[in-house]
Amino acid sequence: MKTAPLFMILLAALTVNVGSAQSVLQQKVTFRYSNERLGTILHDISDEYAVNFAYSSHFIPVDDKVSINVRNENLSVALDEIFAPSGVVYANIGGQIVLKMGNQPKKQEQLSQINTLPKSVKQTSPVHPPNEHEGWLMEQMKRDRESTLTMLETQPINEISGGTQAAKIEQYQLTPVQIQDDEIERMAQVSILPFIGTNMLQSAEVTNKLSLNVLWGVNGGVEGVEVGGFFNHIKNDVNGVQVAGFGNTVGGNTVGTQVSGLFNVTKGSVQGVQASGIFNVSGKTDAVQAAGLFNVTTADFAGVQASGLFNVSKGKADGVQVSSLFNVAHGKTKAQFSSFFNVAHDVEIAQISSLLNVGKNVKGLQIGLINVADSTSGVPIGLLNIIKNGYNRVEFSAGDALYANFALKLGARSFYNIFHFGARWDDITITKMTPDSKEPIEESGTLMSWGLGYGFGTTIGFGPRTLMNIEAVTIHVNELEEWTEELNLLNQLRLLIDIRTGKHTSLFAGPVGSIMVSKLRRSDYNTEGSMIAPYTFYNKTSPTSGSNVQMWVGFNAGVRF
């Protein structure tokens, strides 16, 4: 019959297990710790003396501090001293030291010594995982990666009988202990496709120091170098260098360098370098990102982002963004450079683009066709500067060239734009020859001249209520007609003293230096050049260009709101 051999096998296995249970607790240990974490001590004992502890960190106080000094003592004596303050109790089942919390801190009564082999066993055999995290235990863990050790309350439910002694034991429900993904490390692996390589089905659980994926590889982690012909996929972390012909993907964090022909994607944080032909995507990033098309970080960014199209940081970008189209930072940025537009929350150094810059609080320089900010302590330089809490003024003034003037000034005290409209009325007598008359006929009337201009200015503060404006304005003057097509530019440099008279009003006045450049020639007025100058200290016409230049010093005064 086949039952007898089977019984002998079970009997031999039980003998080995009982012997193992005795020897694990009786082995001599020597160690010393001062105010060290319980979890660290258990980890060290496991590594040094090949002891397997089974417990859940959710129930065992692994962060408790323990001080102990034992020398050449049985492991059981050392464990009694270690667990005495915390109330942890233990039992040796199948070669594993199973831990649980007792009802109160006390010394655990260990299993009774069994000197004679029982004639019959009426109990459920526990699971005996191997010492290494491989083989059968690994297959069980793959089915349930989130399982943890659970224990039932102590209850004497099984009795070992049939010998000269009997012992009551505690029943434990054992499920596989969760192993962290980075617990299995190997020197190297080679694969052709996912799970077709030296690590086989364990590929996603193993961290390799050297990883070579001929086509496409999937691994647990990298602590060194990984090279892939097409794709590399890491489930956990990369610490080192990752190179792929097409792309790299990392489920955890990357510390080091990622280089690929198409893309790099890291779900966690990145420290180091990401370089790709098309795009890089990462979480929190402290690195240099260089891509042919775009870079995207889903959290804070520090370092440099350089791309052919655009860069986006969904957190603060405490670095530099450079692209050919646009840059976007949802938080603070140091500097942004692009061809079209830049958008950020706070700007420390500069935003430079050919079209548009948008910031909230700008401390540095903004250079673009249009600059927009809530407030600025820097210098916005553009055709239009819109600063919500900046130097925004409406003014009405009188001058010697254009008698009535309206101006809109937008920007910051350091630099603002001026949009100007001015007009004047002149009583003119015109001498004309008509076909019917033989003598010249004089006609008199009031004719209007008007001008549109643009300029920029800055302020110098002299006190809480006094400042000086330094402004340069160019005005195209349509002289004595609806629109003058010839060159007729009035260029002015103004030095104006502004005195605040109310919360939102001020008065200003000051000298104005004017240069009129004109190509007007009117035979009916018998004039060469412009007629709006009240006087000139310089008046000359170039014989080559035909341009008339007039210079004089006048005044300007008005009120601002």
In this structure, which amino acid lies at residue 189?
Q
**Cα–Cα distance for residue pair 7/2, rounded to 1 Å:** 9
**Cα–Cα distance for residue pair 171/153, rounded to 1 Å:** 8
**Cα–Cα distance for residue pair 312/273, rounded to 1 Å:** 17
What's residue 100's pLDDT? 86
* 53-67, 153-167, 408-422, 436-450: least confident range: 153-167
Q: Are 209 and 224 in contact (CB under 8 A)?
A: yes
Confidence of residue 114 (pLDDT cuts 50, 70, 90): very low
What's residue 183's pLDDT? 54
In this structure, which amino acid lies at residue 113?
Q
In this structure, which amino acid lies at residue 511?
P
Average pLDDT (305-334) is 91
What's residue 437's pLDDT? 61
Confidence of residue 461 (pLDDT cuts 50, 70, 90): very high
Assigned token pair, 15 = 């003998």
In this structure, which amino acid lies at residue 468?
M
Query: Does the structure show a pLDDT above 70 at 239?
Result: yes
**Higher per-residue confidence, 128 vs 376:** 376
Confidence of residue 343 (pLDDT cuts 50, 70, 90): very high
Cα within 13 Å of Cα(482), Cβ side: 0
Exposed e or buried b per residue across 168-192, where buried means at least 16 C-beta atoms within 10 angstroms of its C-beta: ebbbbebebbbeebbebebeebebe
What's residue 195's pLDDT? 87
Pairing of strands 404-411, 466-478: unpaired
**Reduced 3-state DSSP string for 514-531:** EEEEECCEECCCCEECCC
**Higher per-residue confidence, 378 vs 13:** 378
Per the listing, tokens 């020639």 go with 521
What's residue 103's pLDDT? 63
What's residue 72's pLDDT? 86
3-class secondary-structure state, position 24: helix
Assess if CATH 3.30.559.10 describes domain 17-170.
Answer: no
Confidence of residue 430 (pLDDT cuts 50, 70, 90): low
* 75-83 helix and 3-26 helix, angle to the nearest 10 degrees: 60
What's residue 24's pLDDT? 80
What's residue 32's pLDDT? 86
Enumerate helices (H) and strands (E) in the chain, giving the number of each. 4, 46
pLDDT tens digits, one per residue of 257-295: 999 999 999 999 999 999 999 999 999 999 899 999 999
Pairing of strands 333-337, 346-352: parallel
Exposed e or buried b per residue across 116-137, where buried means at least 16 C-beta atoms within 10 angstroms of its C-beta: eebeebeeeebbbbeeebeeeb
Q: Which residues pair with 37 in a beta bridge?
A: 65
Confidence of residue 316 (pLDDT cuts 50, 70, 90): confident
Query: Does the structure show a pLDDT above 60 at 129?
Result: no
Query: Does the structure show a pLDDT above 70 at 2?
Result: no
For residue 158, give the nearest of 76, 93, 96, 102 by alpha carbon. Answer: 93
Q: Are 305 and 287 in contact (CB under 8 A)?
A: no
Q: Are 229 and 245 in contact (CB under 8 A)?
A: yes
**Higher per-residue confidence, 138 vs 342:** 342
Report the share of the chain in percent with pLDDT over 90: 51
Q: Give 167-184 as a DSSP string.
A: EEEE-----PPP--GGGE
Query: Does the structure show a pLDDT above 50 at 172?
Result: no
pLDDT tens digits, one per residue of 349-359: 999 999 999 99
Query: Does the structure show a pLDDT above 80 at 347?
Result: yes
Q: What are phi and psi of 112, to 5 degrees?
A: -65, 145
**Higher per-residue confidence, 47 vs 158:** 47
* 75-83 helix and 38-49 helix, angle to the nearest 10 degrees: 170
Enumerate the domain spans of the chain: 17-170, 195-299, 395-408+434-560
Q: Which residues pair with 249 in a beta bridge?
A: 233, 265
User: Rounded mean pLDDT of the chain?
Assistant: 81
3-class secondary-structure state, position 537: coil
What's residue 44's pLDDT? 87
What's residue 501's pLDDT? 93
Per the listing, tokens 């209520």 go with 465
Which positions ≥6 away from 538 have C-beta within 8 Å? Answer: 549, 550, 551, 552
pTM summary value: 0.62
How far is residue 254 from each of residues 6, 180, 284, measured CA to CA in Å? Answer: 53, 18, 10
Average pLDDT (330-357) is 92
Report the share of the chain in percent with pLDDT over 70: 78
